[in-house]
Structure 1
């Protein structure tokens, strides 16, 4: 069963939040970008995989370029059928393969990022210049442009209503999202149905992840880390994920300005990011933050698995059968 790349990512959000602990140079759970430009699901390293992750990992869709192409073709075929039934011409879009690569900060595995040398050069890796994925220019033109341009205003409006649905704040179901919703449901409907079927256990896993920062063991560990950071001159951070989050939020805010992140702004932020990340790395290493936090997390998840083993086994069985 192939899943269209625009399917709901509810499960991803739930599963990603079960990897609670931030690594010393970023997230311990990592995600990668495939050759097709699509982001793959988070993965855990050997030292960060935990009991609950072992159950939920089976639900992560994985894609390679051949799978992405087949997935795209299935979606376009369903979209073409729907638009034809609505009385419109529709030419399936060609699959756009991608070329190019990202900078070393994206490509580096966790074990490489989690070294003082890497952090001293890249910080959290948030302000490095990244190479963009450049799509194959032969596949970027929508083959339906000329047809849509030939329609008058009323017909054009009807075409887009058929394609996208009538937009309202309540239009969250696939039925309300026009032929794109129909095509998405045709390709990923079984997957979405399983999300709904197993939503109680997935919601419970999400609630468990939300409770983790408040556990007494982690509160005490964060206090040790914060005391070290204070000695290093950083007194405003009370939890280990906070410095990374602060730099990430600031970088995102700069990217979202009208001018984007200018080179001067990038260098200024990087000048604060690297020493902060270094202090974080050293203090995390001093208190053995990663190992101790994973130990706390694993204990919580062990109990969760014991309490919910039947539901988790059913989830694994259903998603394995769908793969």
Structure 2
């Protein structure tokens, strides 16, 4: 099931995900939670709550949203069973399943792309494959009716032109079907998308896009790149390029099976590429590359140094935009 959510959560958590993705040596004292911007952005996604409180809040919002969505779909003439087990977020600080700084973890999962530890645990815990409660109804519809169902539920997907070359498409709940309406009913207007914070939004995106081009980051990435080349993995200029190469290769495997979206493919005629020899080979390549990457991150103290650089950039940004950040934080807290 396709799911489209507001950019607020994505924007607010982008920094945290970026910094967490930089982790490598496991010995540094800094974490993304030390980010000068985190205390402002965390207000948009409940970062001040414990994992248990976040999970409880998310589960309740998910339940209410799915019930509203069912009402909306019924008004449009479609059946829809609330789906509260559709791969939503899981908040936990105890499972320890995402440990890309540890060699034992990397030896098993690499970057966690082909062999995702969360998917593995979910399968083991449930003991069965995920079943969409609406699948039987969807199977009873014709192709045109199914298309109408999805468009009513989630809106019409943006075209390549609307997405833009930089992926700068901006979410609008009014274009996101019943799901967008249900989210808006529960959450109200998203302060991140409001005109009041348009200038802050633009400056924040610019900060995320340009921070990696700072002289300090260039030097750190150059040291890492040199290490990678000496270890037999040349061609990566940025630390994130190595992981991205695996993600791109995985996308190519899926596209060869399902197409690139320009032509319709009957999924029942496609053999799941997840279990293909090509995917297995990519998984082995991922682990080998990730192990070299881990070694070079440890050698260059990449995590600690990258966080120091990032936080220095953020501190300057906070000084220059403190009033706007305080206003956004207040609006986000009120919206929650």
| TM-score normalised by the chain length of structure 1 | 0.70
- Cα distance in structure 2, aligned partners of 1:179 and 1:297: 39
Q: What residue number does 2:297 align with?
A: 284
Cα shift at 1:14:
5.4
Superposed CA offset, 1:226-283 (max 9, x none): 2212211222112211111111211232234314234422332233222221221111
Structure index of larger Rg: 1
- Cα distance in structure 2, aligned partners of 1:188 and 1:66: 12
Which of the pair is proportionally richer in helix? 2
- Cα distance in structure 1, aligned partners of 2:67 and 2:247: 36
2:308 maps to 1:308: no
Pairing partner for 1:53 from 38, 58, 61? 38
Q: What residue number does 1:261 align with?
A: 274
- Cα distance in structure 1, aligned partners of 2:16 and 2:153: 34
Superposed CA offset, 1:283-315 (max 9, x none): 111111111111111110000001111111111
Cα shift at 1:183:
3.4
User: Cα RMSD between the aligned structures?
Assistant: 4.1
Q: What is the DSSP-based 3-state SS (H/G/I as helix, E as strand, rest coil) of the residue aligned with 2:252?
A: helix
Q: In the TM superposition, what are the counterparts of 1:25-174 in structure 2 within 5 Å?
A: 47-49=31-33, 50-60=35-45, 63-64=54-55, 67-74=58-65, 76-77=67-68, 80=71, 84=75, 93-97=81-85, 108-110=96-98, 112-128=99-115, 130-131=119-120, 140-141=133-134, 163=152, 173-174=172-173
Q: What residue number does 1:317 align with?
A: 330
Superposed CA offset, 1:158-188 (max 9, x none): x969945995969975445555554343223
2:251 maps to 1:252: yes
Q: What is the DSSP-based 3-state SS (H/G/I as helix, E as strand, rest coil) of the residue aligned with 1:126?
A: coil
1:244–1:25 distance in 2 versus 1, CA, 3 Å: farther
- Cα distance in structure 1, aligned partners of 2:213 and 2:239: 13
Question: Whose relative contact order is higher, 1 or 2, with alpha carbons under 8 Å and at least 6 apart?
Answer: 2
Structure 2 residue runs of 5 or longer lacking an equivalent are 48-53, 163-170, 258-270
Would you say the 8 A contact 2:100–2:106 is kept in 1? yes
1:61–1:203 distance in 2 versus 1, CA, 3 Å: farther
Q: What residue number does 1:8 align with?
A: 6
Superposed CA offset, 1:118-152 (max 9, x none): 22333222232643666776x81479889x97xxx
1:181–1:74 distance in 2 versus 1, CA, 3 Å: closer
| TM-score normalised by the chain length of structure 2 | 0.68
Would you say the 8 A contact 2:12–2:42 is kept in 1? no
Would you say the 8 A contact 2:73–2:79 is kept in 1? no
- Cα distance in structure 2, aligned partners of 1:60 and 1:166: 24
1:25–1:247 distance in 2 versus 1, CA, 3 Å: farther
- Cα distance in structure 2, aligned partners of 1:178 and 1:215: 41
